[in-house]
Amino acid sequence: MLRTHFLRATQLAHRQLHTTASRAARRPPVVPQTPSVEQAVYNILHTTPEVQHKGSRQILSCLAHNEPGVITRVSGILQSRGFNIESFVAAHTELPGLSRMTVVLNGDGNQIVQAKRQLEDIVPMWAVLDYTNTKLVERELLLVRVSILGPEAQGEEQEPEDDVDVVWASKKLRETSAHLRALTELTRLFEGRLLDVSSDSVIIELCAKPGRITSFIKLCRPFGVLEASRTGVMALPRAPLPEEPQDDEFEDEHEGVDATTLPPG
């Protein structure tokens, strides 16, 4: 019985798709109208985002000996200063016994200097690096589970299998396929990956900058975000490029060359 209903739903969906395509082919092409100057200015003002004044974002990288209680001491010093910690990541490095802690927080620059001095006084701490005004490579990992049934389907009750409505099943089948294709394309644009696909949700992996991950989560909300997990910010400074010699320096080096000492030709 379920197979018969599924075949009827597939035939109905194919017929509706063919009818919609034939109607769209008969419609005359729509010629876009050129907006006036007032409409163009209004569109620019409407689409320009407002300036958001945020606090000073500070990034500290702490190199410490791997022993119990180090993370508690670092978080205690920052908490006593009243900093708003956005991210706190601690992990082992390539050397045994050495750990790196990357802390992203908001606060005043003078308070950051004082907190840095206190962190350097901790016994197992090797060094505290301030990456605030340094060119960095920042990355964060996101795992998010998104519904492919839509946010409105989370509270719906499933109908019994014996009384399956053909139109309802066909509509749900098309909506699920459309949501899956849209999420796949959105993930591809953000250079992410689909790790798991089920009948009602997908798990997406994305490694990018923190702002890009926040934007991706906002774009996934209309589909229905079931759960999400972020690792926090990891950062390393960029390697400086060698500076090319200026033209003046190049000319000065070749000014003292005597043309008579050069070989013929």
Tokens of 255: 């000014």
Q: What does the alpha-carbon distance between residue 204 and residue 170 come to, in Å, rounded to a whole number?
A: 26
Tokens of 59: 């990034």
Global pTM value: 0.67
* Spatial contact of 208 and 137, defined as CB atoms under 8 Å apart: no
The mean of the pLDDT values for the chain is 78
DSSP state letter for 81: T
DSSP state letter for 160: P
pLDDT of 107 above 70? yes
Q: pLDDT tens digit string along 81-91?
A: 778 888 899 98
Q: pLDDT tens digit string along 153-188?
A: 655 545 545 455 666 666 677 778 889 999 999 999
Residues 36-62 as b/e (b if ≥16 CB within 10 A, e otherwise) read eeeeeeeeeeeeeeeeeeeeeebbbbb
| pLDDT computed for residue 218 by the predictor | 95
Report the percentage of the chain scoring pLDDT > 70: 69
User: What's the average model confidence in pLDDT over 59-66?
Assistant: 89
Range from 66-75, 94-103, 152-161, 236-245 carrying the lowest mean pLDDT: 152-161
